[in-house]
Amino acid sequence: MDELLADFVAETREMLEQSGTELVAWEADPSDKKRIDTIFRFVHTVKGNCGFFDFPRLEKLSHAAEDALAECRAGRREPDSSLVNAVLAIIDRISEMTDSIEAGEEFSEGNDDVLIAALSPNAEIEVQSDLEIVEEAVVDPTTKDDSDNSASKAPRQAVQRSIRLPVDLLDEVMKGVSDMVLARNDLARRLREAGEQPTIDGPFERLSAILADVRTSITRMRMQRLEHLFSSLPRLVRDLSNELSKQVMVDFEGGEVELDREMIEMVRDPLTHIIRNAIDHGIETPASRLKTGKREIGTLKFAARQSGNQISLVVTDDGGGINIEKVTAKAIANGLYSRSEIDKMSDKQKQNLIFEPGLSTAEQVSSVSGRGVGMDVVRSNIERVGGSIEVSSKLGEGTSFHLQLPLTLSIIAALTVGSGDQRYAIPRSYVEEIVFGNSSHVEFAQAGDRRLVTFRDKRVPCLSLGEVLGIENTAHCRWEEKTLVLVRLASDDIFALAVDRVFDHEDVVVKPIAPAIMETRLYAGTTLLDDGRPMMLIDLPSIAQMRGMVGGVRTKAVEAEKVERQKKSKAVPVMLFAGLDGRHRAVRLELVRRIDTISRDAIDIEGERAQAVIDGEIVTLAGHDTGPLPDGRCRLLRLSDGERELVYIVKEVLDAADITDDVVPSEADRSIEGVTLVGGKPIPLLDGHAVFSRYRATRKIEHILTCRIPGESEWARTILEPLVEAAGYRIATDEDDCEADLAIALAEDGTESLQGARATIRLRPDPEDAGDDTIYRYDRDGLLAALKRIRTGRAA
């Protein structure tokens, strides 16, 4: 049944009970004016409520009774027994109808006109006022089994009856139950410590279960879902927008959040006022909305969240926003502030001027808002119940009202997290998702000093809980080892809170904390862990506010480029190796040309210069500064960037692997591209760029040595040329007018030195050594050795 209707039924029944004694007294003495007053009030109230709920029959009845009683009160009519009977009959009928309403049944048929006619002064119709008889007469004729009175009554009795209780009493009971829960937790801990005791454990389990049930019921006793408040708003919005010829759509979120019944009533009026303001001042007319490229229909969004002993309710419209200029001008014009005072204010302060008494910004004062009672009343009403209200607005984009409302009692669902060596509770209603920092779809980035995390293609600002609480330094924060709790605030702002560990979901009883702790604005309350240790409840909205995580109106996390991600998520082959210091590192496989093994003697290190000789080539050496050189054989990774080469000395080549996880960049160590996960272990990935820029790599491939060979000899072209090219030379053609690095001449062509070459190799046709520095043309080893000697001589 509708909550409001239930309230109506409860109220009516309560008044019926109260007026019961009055009715009897009146019957005894129809002229007793005091009794008439009480009964008059009753029918009057019923009449008013009926109009609201659209019960025409009830309204007609109560209206008639009210009229008759009004006559009596005014002295125009003397109450007599027939009037008393008629009124009593009507009240009985009202009672019957109330029962029907509660049971959700149709009203029983019955001639109301007879009852009403009986009220008239000259009525001759006898009306039975005896309740029992009326009840019998009212036995639902629609029920087929008329004779079975009890059967038709049965469903009516099954209907829940409600009573009204003072809220204080409920508070007291609630507090008692909360303390019982804590005492139970304490007892549970002691029982655990004492070891297993079957005779005690069983009953204790039962006690715990019962207590849990009681706690749930007690909580429900005082709580009401915010839905009940929300459900009346669409109508209000509709009426207001019609009146102001605007089109407004409402959107609710967090209707399941429960709020103290009393609190709901306290908020109703301020909320109504905020809605009026939003529709009147905030949301523009459809025409002007279209002009500014907005949807014709404005949106009014209500989002509620529970956090500790606070409910945060955000009312956001997508209207024109607060015109600061206008507000300040008005404040000055109304003499609230001087120009210089205004100039000193921040934009936020200026926006909050709307809460000042005597300020209305609408150009035309409409019937809806802007009657002088304005946001100042709203604010004072909210502050009266211990809440707070703030506004944030962007001109042209909309306005958000952030209401913080206290919750007198609180058992909240919380997430317990660890930071440092302590546990903290975070209200679960804020937690959107939990992700691990080292997970493959989480990527960290940095903008200025702000750490960002890219998750689901959104860039989300990142806070470390340890840093917020001042127990940890961000500089030493290893983000990828953290667990990220994605927090969505009531204002839809998202940020990631990095914690060391997430423990559990727990229902916690939140107790208020001392003012001196409240001052930190970090905590919303405290609660006790099962082991009896206190645990602080983190005040997320306040932290978000302090850290500027509340971006104001509808600031959505920035979309990151998807293309970039896809490229990065491709598996990258790497080679794993152990450096000279024994630490495992990885290098992109693309960089590695081959693995060489040389003797210790082939390495020459002098100051900044380190070189190795491989296959008669001198190559720049890197990686030697991480640890002592091994004795004997040295393993080298020959790295190439496509143009240059260097060798990176390692202790051991381990394996080849694919990295699929993201590479998390490191600020501290510039020699690595970042840290990635290989087989679950963090492995630093060597930064190829840094290595090549730091160690001036051997310029080898870029400068290809040229060689002239005798062009006219067929042997030279068909046999010598491929050999020379394979050795790394380019065959100089006749177009090369510059000096070649090497010339190969055939001894039979004569002894004159070939022009245009820095070095010359002479080949002789006969195997016998002629003793003239020539090489036998089929002495392959000799020839290659000569070629290499010249090449390395140049390269060095």
Partner 1 sequence: MNELLLMCTIAGRRAAIPAIEVQSVIEVEAITPIPGTADFILGLTALRSQALTVIDCALALGLETPCASLDNRAAVVEVEGHLYALLVEEAHDVGEARSEPVAVPGGFGEGWQRAARGMVETDGGPTLLVEIANLICGPMREAA
The only residue of 120, 185, 285, 408 in contact with partner 1, by rule CB under 8 A: 185
Are β-strands 534-538 and 431-436 bridged in parallel, bridged antiparallel, or unpaired?
A: unpaired
Regarding 750 and contact with partner 1 (CB under 8 A), the answer is: no
Contact range with partner 1 by CB under 8 A, out of 27-35, 175-183, 306-314, 406-414 = 175-183
The per-residue b/e assignment along 568-605, b for 16 or more CB within 10 angstroms, e otherwise, is: eeeebebbbbbbbeeebbbbbeebbeeebebeeebbee
Rounded-to-integer distance, Cα 380 and Cα 270, Å: 9
The phi, psi pair for 3, rounded to 5°, reads -60, -40
Single-letter residue type at 632: G
Report helix, strand or coil for 280. Answer: helix
The only residue of 123, 131, 182, 578 in contact with partner 1, by rule CB under 8 A: 182
**Category of 615 on φ-ψ map: left (φ > 0), alpha (ψ -120 to 50) or beta:** left
Of residues 187 and 502, the one with the C-beta less far from partner 1:
187
Single-letter residue type at 550: V
Rounded-to-integer distance, Cα 502 and Cα 70, Å: 68
Of residues 517 and 795, the one with the C-beta less far from partner 1:
517
Of residues 206 and 521, the one with the C-beta less far from partner 1:
521
Regarding 517 and contact with partner 1 (CB under 8 A), the answer is: yes
Report in angstroms how near the CB of residue 542 gets to partner 1 at its nearest: 11
The only residue of 151, 183, 365, 558 in contact with partner 1, by rule CB under 8 A: 183
| 272 contact partners, CB below 8 Å, separation of at least 6 | 236
Rounded-to-integer distance, Cα 674 and Cα 657, Å: 16
Report in angstroms how near the CB of residue 407 gets to partner 1 at its nearest: 16
The answer to whether the CB of 12 falls within 8 A of the CB of 92 is no
Report in angstroms how near the CB of residue 517 gets to partner 1 at its nearest: 5
- The 129-168 contact track toward partner 1, x by CB under 8 A, reads ----------------------------------------
Of residues 533 and 699, the one with the C-beta less far from partner 1:
533
Chain position carrying tokens 């204002």: 491
Report in angstroms how near the CB of residue 181 gets to partner 1 at its nearest: 8
Report in angstroms how near the CB of residue 186 gets to partner 1 at its nearest: 5
Regarding 190 and contact with partner 1 (CB under 8 A), the answer is: no
DSSP 385-436: TT-EEEEEEETTTEEEEEEEEE-SS-EEEEEEEEETTEEEEEEGGGEEEEEE
Of residues 173 and 528, the one with the C-beta less far from partner 1:
528
Report in angstroms how near the CB of residue 463 gets to partner 1 at its nearest: 14
Site for partner 1 in 362-421 (CB under 8 A): 420
Contact range with partner 1 by CB under 8 A, out of 283-291, 292-300, 515-523, 602-610 = 515-523
Report in angstroms how near the CB of residue 183 gets to partner 1 at its nearest: 5
Structure-token pair, residue 568: 């990065």
Site for partner 1 in 471-510 (CB under 8 A): 471
The only residue of 219, 231, 422, 626 in contact with partner 1, by rule CB under 8 A: 422
The only residue of 514, 563, 668, 738 in contact with partner 1, by rule CB under 8 A: 514
Of residues 6 and 187, the one with the C-beta less far from partner 1:
187
Report in angstroms how near the CB of residue 521 gets to partner 1 at its nearest: 9
CA dihedral sign of residues 495, 499, 503, 506: negative
Residues near partner 1 (CB under 8 A), total: 30
Report in angstroms how near the CB of residue 197 gets to partner 1 at its nearest: 21
Of residues 512 and 682, the one with the C-beta less far from partner 1:
512
Rounded-to-integer distance, Cα 574 and Cα 637, Å: 13
Of residues 61 and 538, the one with the C-beta less far from partner 1:
538
For 490, the enclosing helix (H) or strand (E) is none
Report in angstroms how near the CB of residue 168 gets to partner 1 at its nearest: 15
Residue 228 has a CB neighbour count (10 Å cut-off) of: 19
- The 530-559 contact track toward partner 1, x by CB under 8 A, reads --xxxxx-----------------------
The only residue of 523, 692, 695, 729 in contact with partner 1, by rule CB under 8 A: 523
Site for partner 1 in 434-473 (CB under 8 A): 468-471
Report in angstroms how near the CB of residue 362 gets to partner 1 at its nearest: 39
Chain position carrying tokens 């043309």: 777
Residue 273 has a CB neighbour count (10 Å cut-off) of: 18
Q: Find the distance separating the first CA and the last CA of the chain, reported in whole Å.
A: 94
Report in angstroms how near the CB of residue 410 gets to partner 1 at its nearest: 14
The answer to whether the CB of 341 falls within 8 A of the CB of 291 is no
- Which DSSP letter does residue 107 get? P
Contact range with partner 1 by CB under 8 A, out of 181-189, 209-217, 246-254, 768-776 = 181-189
The only residue of 179, 604, 652, 739 in contact with partner 1, by rule CB under 8 A: 179
DSSP E strands: which ranges in 124-279?
Answer: 223-225, 248-253, 258-260
DSSP 596-658: EEEEGGGEEEETTEEEEEETTEEEEEESGGGSPPPSSEEEEEEEE-SS-EEEEEESEEEEEEE
Report in angstroms how near the CB of residue 450 gets to partner 1 at its nearest: 21
Rounded-to-integer distance, Cα 666 and Cα 673, Å: 7
Regarding 679 and contact with partner 1 (CB under 8 A), the answer is: no
Chain contacts with partner 1 (rule: CB under 8 A): 179, 182-183, 185-186, 420, 422, 468-471, 511-517, 519-520, 522-523, 526-528, 532-536
